Amino acid sequence: MEIVKRLKSPTPKFFKKVRNLGLVLTAIGTGIVAAPVALPVAIASISGYLVLGGTIAAGVAQLTKEDKK
């Protein structure tokens, strides 16, 4: 139940930027992975890491919440 409350609570301004950056990295990595062109192994590997890193950054940033003072 705590996770649902954390997802619904307001996200701090800094972590909104981190979440959006994570979503952008995920989108870029997914676009490279899904490209219909044969790419070198290094680029395909890096794009997989972009997807993973972006997803983790967005998920962690979304679960942060503001403390009530």
pLDDT of residue 20: 95
Asked if the structure places residue 18 within a domain, the reply is yes
Asked if the structure places residue 69 within a domain, the reply is no
Asked whether 23 and 53 are in contact (CB, 8 A), the reply is no
Mean pLDDT by 10 residues, the chain (69 residues): 80 93 95 88 92 94 82
pLDDT of residue 10: 85
Number of domains the chain contains: 1
Asked if the structure places residue 67 within a domain, the reply is no
Nearest CA-CA partner of 7 in 61, 50, 46, 53: 61
pTM given for the model = 0.81
Is the Cα torsion angle 52, 55, 57, 59 positive or negative in sign?
A: negative
50 is written with which tokens?
Answer: 């972009």
**Residue 39: domain span:** 2-62
pLDDT of residue 1: 64
